[in-house]
Amino acid sequence: MAGFTTDRPSDKPCPCCGGPNVRVFFGEDSVPRNSCLLLDDPDTAAGFPRGRLDIGFCDDCGFITNTAFEPGSAEYSQRYEETQGFSGRFMEFAKELAQRWVEDYQLHDRTVLEIGCGKGEFLIEMAKAGAGHCIGIDPGVHPERIDDPEAADIEWIIDFYDERYSHLDADVVICRHTLEHIPNVAEFLTSIRKAIGDRPDTVILFELPDVYRVLTEIAFWDIYHEHCSYFSLGSLARVFRQTGFEVVELGREYDDQYLLIAAKPSTVPAAGEPLPEEDDLDDLRRGVEHFRTGYEALVEDWRKRLVELREHDGKAVIWGSGSKGVSFISNLDISDEVVAAVDINPHKWGKFMVGSNHEIISPESLTEIRPELVVAMNPIYLGEIGDDLRKLGVDTTLLAL
C-alpha cells in the first residue's frame, strides 16, 4: 500500500534524547515487516506479515524514527539475505575502508568485535588488513558459506549482541549498517559503553545510512520497516556524546550515502567540542519539509512511467531485490508493471520478494525477458549494471532511482 505524508505530533518521546517534540511527517499503513528474507513461494511472499510506518522527526535532537515500530516484529535469522558482498563496487569500498581504519587507528594485531557482521565480508577484510583476533556476531551469519582462508581464525557467533556478550574484550568495536535496525538506540549504545568499562583506548567505529540524503532526494525507497532509526551527522554525534563517548571523526562516504563515525569512551558527559558537521538541525527541518511536500509527485512520476510502459506491452524489471526494491514497489502500489527483480546474489535466485511476490532472477535471465526498462535501485551501481547488460547483449533503457 502506498505511503502518505502528514504533519502531526507523536504521542511518544524521542528514543535518543527523550524529548517530547517528535512530529510524524510520513507513514504507510501496511508495509512488509521484512524485506530481505528468502521466501520459497509467491503466496507466502504475498501474505507475509505487515506492520506500520509512522516516521517522526525529533525537533530537539534531529533523530528520525518509526514511532509505530514494535520491537521484535522484524525477523533476523539465517534466512535473512542482506549482503552486498557480491558487488565488486561494494567490496572495493569495504576493502579500502578496512585498510584505512586499520592504518588510521593503529589496529594492527588488535582484537576486533563486529556487532552485526552480516555475512562476514568486512570482518575478513579487517583480518586481511592486519587486524588481530576477530569476532563477528550476527543472527544471520552463515559460517558454512565462508571459504576464505583468512577467515579460518575468525570467531563467528550466530546470535544478537546484548549484555550476555559484555565479557568479550575487544580493542575495537565495529558496527556497520546495524544501528538503523535498533529501536532503543540510546539503550543499545549505553550497553556497549558499559561493556567497554574502563578501557579508554577502545576504538568505536560505526557506519550507517545518511537520512539527510534520503530527505533531500526524497528517497522513499530507503524508508522501510527494518530501518526504525534514521541518523544525520548531527543526530548521530549527539547520541554518541549522550551515551558516554567522545566523537573523534565524523563524515560521509560511498557517494555520500553512508555516515562514518569514530569515537572513544569518555568518563565525562558530552565530552569534546562539537564538530562543525554536527550543526545540522535547521538543515534537517528543511529536509523533512522538502520530503513531505515532494513525495507524492515523485511517486506519481515513477508510477506513471511504469504504467504507461505496461500499457504499451513493454516490460520493466528492477535491479536489486532487497529493501530498496521492496519499498519502491510498495510505495508505488504496483504489481505486473514490474515483471521481475534482478539480483546478482545467487542465493536469492528462484526466491520471491516479500510483499509483492515478484520472482528474483539472475542477470542472465534478462536474455529471455528482454525488458525495455531496467530500474537500478541504487545509482552507485549503474556502471556495474551497465557492464553486465552489455556482456549479456541486452539492449535496454537503464535508469536509476
pLDDT digits (tens, 9 = 90+) for 14-28: 999 999 999 999 999
Please work out, in degrees rounded to the nearest 5, the angle formed at the alpha carbon of residue 388 by the alpha carbons of 310 and 121.
115
pLDDT band at 130 (very low <50, low <70, confident <90, very high): very high
Nine-digit cell string for 36 = 530481505
pLDDT at 3 over 70: yes
Q: Which residue has the cell 558482498?
A: 85
Q: Rounded mean pLDDT of the chain?
A: 96
pLDDT band at 273 (very low <50, low <70, confident <90, very high): confident
pLDDT at 244 over 90: yes
pLDDT at 152 over 80: yes
Nine-digit cell string for 196 = 567497554
Q: How far, in Å, CA of 382 to CA of 296, rounded?
A: 25
Q: How far, in Å, CA of 151 to CA of 3, rounded?
A: 43
Q: Which residue has the higher pLDDT, 394 or 1?
A: 394
Q: Which residue has the cell 557480491?
A: 86
pTM of the predicted model as reported, rounded to 2 decimal places: 0.96
Per-residue model confidence (pLDDT) at position 272: 75
Query: Which candidate, 265, 77, 259, places its Cα nearest to that of 158?
Result: 77
pLDDT tens-digit map of 279-333: 999 999 999 999 999 999 999 999 999 999 999 999 999 999 999 999 999 999 9
Average pLDDT of span 178-195: 96
Q: Cβ atoms within 10 A of the Cβ of 163, count?
A: 9
pLDDT band at 267 (very low <50, low <70, confident <90, very high): confident
User: Does residue 330 contact residue 322 with C-beta atoms inside 8 Å?
Assistant: no
Q: How far, in Å, CA of 26 to CA of 231, rounded?
A: 16
Task: Enumerate domains of the chain plus CATH numbers.
Answer: 4-66 (no CATH), 88-284 (3.40.50.150), 308-400 (3.40.50.720)
Phi/psi of residue 21, each to 5°?
-95, 65
Share of the chain above pLDDT 70, in %: 99
- The number of residues in the chain equals 401
The torsion angle over the Cα atoms of residues 227, 228, 233 and 238, rounded to 10 degrees, is -150
User: Does residue 145 contact residue 83 with C-beta atoms inside 8 Å?
Assistant: no
Q: How far, in Å, CA of 69 to CA of 72, rounded?
A: 9
The torsion angle over the Cα atoms of residues 291, 292, 294 and 297, rounded to 10 degrees, is 130
Per-residue model confidence (pLDDT) at position 43: 93
pLDDT band at 1 (very low <50, low <70, confident <90, very high): low
Per-residue model confidence (pLDDT) at position 266: 93
Per-residue model confidence (pLDDT) at position 311: 97
> Is 67 in a helix, a strand, or coil?
coil
Name every residue whose Cβ is closer than 8 Å to that of residue 149 and which is 6 or more positions away in sequence: none
Q: How far, in Å, CA of 136 to CA of 156, rounded?
A: 5
User: Does residue 80 contact residue 118 with C-beta atoms inside 8 Å?
Assistant: no
Q: Are strands 64-66 and 50-58 parallel, antiparallel or unpaired?
A: antiparallel
The torsion angle over the Cα atoms of residues 143, 146, 152 and 156, rounded to 10 degrees, is -30
Per-residue model confidence (pLDDT) at position 238: 96
Query: Which candidate, 170, 199, 171, 203, places its Cα nearest to that of 267?
Result: 199
Helices (H) and strands (E) counted in the chain, each on its own, are 10, 17
Q: How far, in Å, CA of 14 to CA of 57, rounded?
A: 9
Name every residue whose Cβ is closer than 8 Å to that of residue 109 and which is 6 or more positions away in sequence: 130, 131, 132
Share of the chain above pLDDT 90, in %: 95
pLDDT band at 194 (very low <50, low <70, confident <90, very high): very high
Interhelix angle 233-242/281-311, nearest 10 degrees: 130
pLDDT band at 2 (very low <50, low <70, confident <90, very high): confident
Q: How far, in Å, CA of 245 to CA of 268, rounded?
A: 9
